[in-house]
Amino acid sequence: MLIGGSTRRRSAAEAVEPRVAVSSRVRLARNLRGFRFPEWADEGERRRVRETVTRAVLATGLMRDPLVADVAGLGDVTAQMLCESRVISQDLLERGAGAGLVVSADRRIAVMINEEDHLRIQVMEPGSDLQRAWAAADELDTRIEAHLAYAFSPQLGYLTACPSNVGTGLRASVMLHLLGLRLTNDLDAVLRALDRLRYAVRGVDGEGSDAAGHLFQISNQGTLGQDEAAVLDDLSRVAGEVARQERNARLRLARRSPLVLEDCVARAVVLLKNARVMSTEEALDYLSALRLGLELGLVRRLSVATLDELTLAVQPGHLQQSLGAACATEERDTARAGMLRKRLEGIALRA
């Protein structure tokens, strides 16, 4: 690959394998027979559901050293951190009394209780690994069902609060880093094609959120009339095609517009190492450019693990946890810039 006109071959130490797919997630929506959906249930009924579901989840033996909590009892910073890590949703936090969660110690497996449905079983895996996420979610679902009576119709499948989830109750997604397509001005065309194929595309925080850090969730929109294997296979194929187009966009940038690519990365390096005030959105976008630069061999003395860690560390909940206290936006922006200067002081652009 030609970078900036150089014909020197890069060694393995100069670049890392491009990781377009950041993570995969599988969610299963389930409800209990004989109970109203959370939106229509009163507080007492929601509390009974939470207690019943919590006992069933713990009885499966699959959740080691779990966090078990009533959402109303979570501190603001802890709740925000769980949302930022995509372990729970903002909708769960807003549900109020009766909402709960059971989360594994490694945050890979979570069960949200009384969000939109009585149960939202969730498994996340790094990279593009929907099948492994599905296998874990399916096993947990099967074991929970041994203790609970699900709302199920022989004609329709699992009954859910939202009609789009009726059937398998499966919502799967792949998170992709698409900065290359943004820089080549091809991203909008790709997103329109996904919409025509009836795939939902959202930002990192789910429905209604912006694509901070150029991260996009691609997910199925319906499950009625399809089995789980078909949903997962179709999504894997589509996400794989988008990832291929992203890799091609990066190659085109490196070959045809190296200065555009190098300038994007250089600006990110300079600002991350020198800024005195930085918002969450700015930090995520600059870290996104840094990730692209690392994968193309334009940045040295940096690891993917450090970037993954910083992508969480710059977000408000995680930042306040590290500071040991809640603080105002202005204080966070100053502290965030200082933390990034310290953590990234050793990185450099490839000569």
Which helix (H) or strand (E) element contains residue 288?
helix 280-295
Residue environment code for 156-180, b if the CB has 16+ CB neighbours within 10 A, otherwise e: ebbbbbeeebbbbbbbbbbbbbbbb
Which helix (H) or strand (E) element contains residue 179?
helix 179-183
CATH assignment at residue 28: 3.30.590.10
Do the domain assignments include residue 344? yes
Do the domain assignments include residue 251? no
Tokens of 192: 């329109």
What is the predicted pLDDT for the residue at 49?
Answer: 98
Residues 239, 282, single domain; the answer is no
Examine the fold and report which residue of 192, 216, 245 is the final residue of a domain before the chain moves on: 245
Residues 195, 285, single domain; the answer is no
What is the predicted pLDDT for the residue at 210?
Answer: 59
Examine the fold and report which residue of 213, 245, 277 is the final residue of a domain before the chain moves on: 245
Do the domain assignments include residue 127? yes
Residues contacting residue 264 through CB under 8 Å, at least 6 positions apart: 183, 289, 292, 293
Residues 241, 287, single domain; the answer is no
> Distance between alpha carbon 333 and the CA centroid of its chain, in Å?
23
pTM of the predicted structure, to 2 decimals: 0.89
**Is 350:14 a contact under the CB 8 Å cutoff?**
yes
Residues 206, 292, single domain; the answer is no
Domain count, the chain: 2
SS3 92: helix
Residues of the domain holding 45? 21-245
Residues contacting residue 216 through CB under 8 Å, at least 6 positions apart: 175, 176, 178, 191, 201, 202, 203
Q: 264 - beta bridge partners? A: none
Examine the fold and report which residue of 195, 223, 245 is the final residue of a domain before the chain moves on: 245
Residues 194, 277, single domain; the answer is no
Residues 83, 135, single domain; the answer is yes
Residues 94, 212, single domain; the answer is yes
Report phi then psi at 197, rounded to 5. Answer: -85, 0
How many Å from the N-terminal Cα to the C-terminal Cα in the chain?
A: 16
What is the predicted pLDDT for the residue at 18?
Answer: 67
Residues 38, 185, single domain; the answer is yes
What is the predicted pLDDT for the residue at 287?
Answer: 97
Residues 229, 101, single domain; the answer is yes
Residues 278, 138, single domain; the answer is no
pLDDT tens, the chain, 351 aa long: 223 333 333 443 445 566 899 999 999 999 999 999 999 999 999 999 999 999 999 999 999 899 999 999 998 999 999 999 999 999 999 988 899 999 999 999 999 999 999 999 999 999 999 999 999 999 999 999 999 999 999 999 999 999 989 999 999 999 999 999 999 999 999 999 999 999 999 986 544 445 789 999 999 987 777 889 999 999 999 999 999 999 999 999 999 999 999 999 999 999 999 999 999 999 999 999 999 999 999 999 999 999 999 999 999 999 999 999 889 999 999 999 999 999 999 999 987
What is the predicted pLDDT for the residue at 13?
Answer: 40
Tokens of 75: 């501190």
**Is 321:82 a contact under the CB 8 Å cutoff?**
no
Tokens of 219: 């997910």
Q: How far apart are CA 251 and CA 245, in angstroms?
A: 10
Residues 90, 44, single domain; the answer is yes
What is the predicted pLDDT for the residue at 351?
Answer: 74
SS3 188: helix
